[in-house]
């Protein structure tokens, strides 16, 4: 085995259906594969027929490369394979190294030819190589549910032999579908929603609303930890922390309790839109699931969307909490999300949560909320007045109300 030449063989599925745009998607995938493996040793990447090959002749840890590659969006599967010349004897030599010393009750050979002029058909290869395995190992052939499957992919100039391919996330490579801004609450749902947008090829900018100094900064620490975990899938991330406590205080003074959460969400959407445009994002994304809580009923979602001027994508809208939690566990965000924190929506929280805000309620309630600018030396997060701008700054915005509503945000 020491003399064999290891490679990581990457298969993609959805990208192969892109026809005229396929080269663009493959360039994004190749770039992300390089970024994912840049810090763990030399890797030479090249494209072969319907596959991407990472050559690891001089690499100290090929298995580590495979683990990185299988976390790249757009990858359907990744296998640690061995490259030989396309002769039956060379294939047998590799298979001998893979099966010797290994116990398995059943197996199958899955041979595929990428070019049809090879002198043996796939069926003939399966029979020849299967008979070779039976001579070396006390096992049997099982074509339906084998304990071990040996893959042989025959190319014009070389053949790749491997076992145990690892599934990847699939989808599209990050960056191929543009940029979105994700409203990151620190709960279980929003990190999963952000990851699902990455899987669809979006680069994600994270926006987190906090209520410092009215609440402790624990939610900010949790947001940073969640972004750090999700950055494993997109390699670099931007997290914007928006102080929201002063705005909430003004809303509490003027808005009836049942409508407050909807007004919070409308203001968050408007502020997040301004931040999204600043970072080149074309849409917002949230972790809302229809009917999961009072603010996520269909009528309240409709009221929230009225405040938006760009699309709000909700990839979890049809999932239940158990499905979302299972995906959070798989991503490694669940344990971070369940850590106790002081979420901004708990500030000035009312026991009465309206499940259906009337169409006229949100604009009328919003009109009466006009937060005053922070005083010098005090205010949001204890910053000075010089750290704030009104309306003409990209972080500030107008609501869809007859009168202008100044929104003060930290620069």
pLDDT digits (tens, 9 = 90+) for 308-322: 999 999 999 999 999
| pLDDT tens digits, 326-365 | 999 999 999 999 988 766 666 655 555 555 555 434 444 4
pLDDT digits (tens, 9 = 90+) for 52-102: 999 998 888 999 999 999 999 999 999 999 999 999 999 999 999 999 989
DSSP string for 132-156: HHHHHSS-EE-SSS-SEEEEEEE-S
The average pLDDT across 228-234 equals 94
Cα distances (angstroms) measured from residue 44 to each of 3, 147, 157, 366: 19, 32, 18, 57
Which pLDDT score is estimated for 252? 85
Which residues lie below 8 Å from residue 65, measured CB to CB, with a gap of 6+? 8, 37, 40, 41, 43, 54, 56, 59
Q: Which of 137-151, 165-179, 288-302 has the lowest mean pLDDT?
A: 288-302
| Nearest Cα residue to 222 out of 191, 194, 186, 252 | 186
**Residue 293: what pLDDT?**
85
How many other C-beta atoms can be found within 10 angstroms of the C-beta atom of residue 103? 10
Residue range 247-272, pLDDT digits in tens: 888 888 888 888 888 888 999 999 99
Confidence (pLDDT) at 103: 92
Cα-Cα-Cα-Cα dihedral of 268, 272, 273, 274, to 10°?
A: 110
> CB within 8 A of 234, min separation 6: which ones?
174, 175, 198, 203, 204
The structure's pTM equals 0.82
Output the furthest CA–CA distance in the chain (Å, rounded): 85
Name 211's Cβ contacts closer than 8 Å, sequence gap at least 6.
Answer: 219, 243, 244, 245, 248, 342, 344, 347
pLDDT greater than 60 at residue 48 = yes
Residues of the chain with pLDDT > 70, as a percent, come to: 82
Q: In the chain, pLDDT over 90 holds for what percent of residues?
A: 62
* pLDDT (tens digit per residue) in 114-170: 877 889 999 999 999 999 999 999 999 999 999 999 999 998 889 999 999 999 999
Q: Residues for the chain: how many in total? A: 411
Alpha helices in 70-217 (DSSP H): 88-99, 122-136, 189-199
| Region 225-250 average pLDDT | 91
Confidence at residue 393, expressed as pLDDT on a 0 to 100 scale: 32
Report the interhelical angle of 122-136 vs 88-99 (nearest 10°): 40
User: Burial letters for 341-351: b for 16+ Cβ neighbours within 10 Å, e otherwise?
Assistant: bbbbbebbeee
């Amino acid at each position: 085995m020491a003399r064999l030449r290891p490679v990581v063989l990457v298969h993609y599925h959805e990208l192969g259906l892109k026809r005229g745009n396929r080269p663009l998607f493959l360039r994004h995938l190749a770039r992300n594969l390089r970024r994912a493996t840049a810090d763990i040793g030399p890797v030479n990447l090249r494209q072969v027929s319907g596959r991407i090959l990472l050559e690891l002749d001089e690499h100290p840890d090929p298995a580590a490369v495979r683990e990185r590659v299988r976390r790249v969006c757009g990858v359907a599967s990744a296998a640690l394979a061995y490259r030989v010349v396309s002769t039956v004897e060379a294939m047998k030599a590799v298979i001998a190294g893979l099966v010797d010393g290994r116990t398995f009750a059943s197996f199958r050979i899955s041979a595929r030819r990428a070019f049809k002029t090879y002198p043996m058909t796939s069926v003939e290869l399966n029979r020849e190589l299967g008979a070779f395995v039976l001579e070396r190992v006390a096992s049997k052939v099982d074509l339906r549910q084998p304990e071990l499957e040996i893959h042989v992919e025959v190319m014009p100039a070389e053949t790749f032999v491997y076992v145990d391919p690892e599934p990847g996330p699939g989808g599209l490579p990050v960056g191929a579908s543009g940029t979105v801004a994700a409203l990151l609450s620190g709960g279980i749902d929003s990190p999963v929603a952000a990851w699902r947008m990455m899987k669809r090829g979006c680069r994600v900018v994270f926006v987190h609303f906090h209520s410092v100094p009215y609440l402790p900064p624990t939610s900010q620490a949790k947001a940073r930890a969640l972004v750090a975990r999700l950055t494993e899938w997109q390699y670099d991330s931007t997290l914007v922390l928006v102080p929201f406590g002063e705005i909430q205080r003004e809303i509490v003074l003027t808005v009836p309790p049942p409508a407050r959460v909807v007004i919070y969400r409308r203001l968050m959407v408007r502020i997040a839109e301004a931040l999204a445009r600043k970072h080149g994002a074309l849409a917002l994304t949230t972790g809302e699931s229809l009917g999961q809580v009072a603010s996520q009923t269909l009528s309240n979602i409709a009221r929230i969307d009225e405040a938006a001027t760009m699309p709000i994508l909700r990839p979890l809208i049809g999932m239940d909490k158990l499905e979302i939690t299972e995906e959070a566990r798989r991503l490694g965000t669940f344990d971070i999300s369940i850590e106790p924190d002081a979420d901004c929506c708990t500030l000035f929280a009312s026991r009465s949560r309206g499940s259906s805000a009337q169409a006229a309620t949100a604009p009328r309630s919003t009109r009466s909320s006009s937060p005053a600018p922070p005083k010098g030396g005090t205010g949001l997060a204890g910053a000075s007045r010089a750290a704030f701008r009104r309306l003409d700054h990209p972080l500030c915005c107008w609501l869809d109300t007859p009168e202008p509503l100044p929104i003060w945000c930290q620069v």
